[in-house]
Chain A
Amino acid sequence: MFIFEKRTQIPVHIKNRNPKLAGIILEQYGGADGEMTASLRYLSQRFTMKDERGKALLTDIGTEELSHLEIVGSIVSQLTDGSGAKEFDRYGKGEYYVNHANAVYASSAAGVPFTAAYFQAKADPIADLVEDLAAEQKARATYDNILRLSDDADVNAVIKFLRAREIVHFQRFGELLNYYQEQVCQ
């Protein structure tokens, strides 16, 4: 089961309003390589990992991704907190406002709604882990693109933390994949 703790994993404190940047960061909320995709991928694949080690790692990383989803949602919400229709429109986000106003909706930056088609579950630990390794790098690359687009220091401090976590998760998935591949060879 899951236990909610009333805090974010790291502090999120964005001073400036910027609906345009919020729309860019939404990519990591409900986009193909975002935190929603990541958490649901690992929390689904864990059921068919071959041993306790695999079930533990996918559960633990999937759970951390849920806390990252909460962080990304908090950034998007803080960036649009208090923005009205006219401000959204001025930043080129009138199309978002007309449907969702100040809500945090699970879609990509381009407005494509979230879908489970973004990830797989194959009951094959090698196939699943190779997907997971790619997923972490795709998320890392998306965070790199956000850092290229954003000049907001408060936002970037949090994005850099999330980016670093993708690298750690990639390392751990790689260790599990190596462990399983060594077993296959024996």
Chain B
Amino acid sequence: MANNCGCQNAPFVPAARPGPREHADGRGESSPGCALMRKLMTADFYLQDLKLYLDTHPCDEKALCLYRKTAALVKEYRAKFEEREFPLTDTGAGCKEHVWDWLEGTWPPARV
């Protein structure tokens, strides 16, 4: 069936947003934390898209290999981000003494 995206089986990678912008918390888009978040979002999106593809193509070894590589990247970026910025998941929280750090960061609808 036709669509506007060419090959329907190719994983979709979102284009990077142009130009620097100011964030709600004052960080520019060029800050290291922001760049790391972009890397995490891009890699994890690729992982999620590969997951859907593999659900209906479980014997595609090339996709499986890409999945393994991407999963390792996502894990690395998430751990780095949580170490340098703020917790994203429950296992990344509770790392600060005397204070509940889970409250830190960008809760929706923060401009990210």
Q: A: which residues have CB within 8 A of B?
A: 3-15, 53, 56-57, 60-61, 64, 70, 73-75, 77-78, 81, 157, 161, 164-165, 167-172, 174-176, 179
Asked whether any CB of chain A lies closer than 8 Å to the CB of B26, the reply is no
Known: A6-B86, A11-B41. Is A171-B108 also a contact (CB below 8 A)? no
CA gap between A176 and B55 in the complex, in Å: 9
Cβ < 8 Å to A, chain B residues 1-57: 1, 3-5, 8-9, 12, 14, 17, 21, 23, 37-38, 40-41, 45, 48-49, 51-53, 55-57
Complex A-B: 7 CB contacts under 8 Å: A4-B89, A6-B88, A6-B89, A8-B112, A11-B17, A11-B38, A13-B112
Q: Which residues of A contact B107 (CB under 8 A)?
A: 6
Contacting residue for B21 out of A3, A13, A64, CB 8 A = A13
Contacting residue for B111 out of A10, A12, A60, CB 8 A = A12
Contact B111 A64 (CB under 8 A): no
Interface size on B, residues (CB 8 A): 37
CA gap between A64 and B41 in the complex, in Å: 14
CB distance from A117 to the nearest CB of B (A): 28
Q: Which residues of A contact B45 (CB under 8 A)?
A: 9-10
Contact A172 B89 (CB under 8 A): no
Asked whether any CB of chain A lies closer than 8 Å to the CB of B94, the reply is no
CB distance from B25 to the nearest CB of A (A): 12
CB distance from A166 to the nearest CB of B (A): 10
Contact A6 B112 (CB under 8 A): no
Contact A78 B111 (CB under 8 A): yes
Contact B108 A77 (CB under 8 A): yes
Contacting residue for A61 out of B1, B52, B86, B109, CB 8 A = B52
CA gap between A164 and B45 in the complex, in Å: 13
* CB nearest neighbor in B for A56: B55
Contact B56 A12 (CB under 8 A): no
Contacting residue for B90 out of A3, A9, A169, CB 8 A = A3
Q: Which residues of B contact A61 (CB under 8 A)?
A: 52
